[in-house]
Amino acid sequence: MARATPSKAIDSPRDAIALLKQDHRTVEALFDEFEDADEPEQSRLAERICNMLNVHAQIEEELLYPAAKQALEDEEEVELVSEAAVEHASAKDLIAKIEGMTPDDEAFKATVKVLCEYVKHHVKEEENELFPALKKTDLDLKEIGTQLAERKFALMEEMGIEAEEPPAPTRKKSARATSRTSSSKARQARAGSRSKASARNSGRAARH
């Protein structure tokens, strides 16, 4: 996947939820790539996944979760934020393990896979429960989005991390097109290459 410079990636202001959802799609795409990659590539992808998740978790913990705790009134919704923070702590344990491994380690792939499942579960809860609850509050999600973007790219610069390009050419496409998940794109790409292969095969069959 191509990578952008931080300044390029910060140029479009988005609300907090749009920014975080885009991060979610990007990391899902990296997990998809990891599955099909060879060992050297898996090592690079694991590093990018860990970096990205570290930054994402930190900006949520520093900016979104405290604002959410203040804005949410329903106790169960406030509890969602506490659960999310606990889930981050567990994910960070897995990330630290992966950061200390190489693809030669027997548990390397399994640990990345468990992290992937864990992140998927966490993302689902944020997107299906926490974010809709936040939309109903009077939080200024555009302002928080700006703060998240600034902090995200400051952290990336501090850590010497390049920004990840969104999983698809989203900037010039319609909002509808951009909302498709990266995993569905990966599936489409795989289906596309399968159908090309089957077209080639049927072409060969037709010539015989």
- Which residues are near Fe ion by CB under 5 A? 20, 60, 126
Nearer to Fe ion, 87 or 162 (CB): 87
Of all residues in the shown chain, the one whose CB is closest to Fe ion is 60
Could you tell me the smallest distance in angstroms from the CB atom of residue 122 to Fe ion? Answer: 6
Could you tell me the smallest distance in angstroms from the CB atom of residue 190 to Fe ion? Answer: 26
Residue with tokens 């050297």: 40
Nearer to Fe ion, 28 or 126 (CB): 126
Distances (CA, A) of 133 to 18, 113, 145: 15, 29, 16
Could you tell me the smallest distance in angstroms from the CB atom of residue 38 to Fe ion? Answer: 29
> Would strands 163-164 and 3-4 be described as parallel, antiparallel, or unpaired?
antiparallel
Could you tell me the smallest distance in angstroms from the CB atom of residue 181 to Fe ion? Answer: 14
Could you tell me the smallest distance in angstroms from the CB atom of residue 88 to Fe ion? Answer: 6
Nearest to 85, CA basis, from 128, 136, 125, 50: 125
Nearer to Fe ion, 58 or 178 (CB): 58
Nearer to Fe ion, 37 or 118 (CB): 118
Nearer to Fe ion, 60 or 164 (CB): 60
Amino acid at 40: P
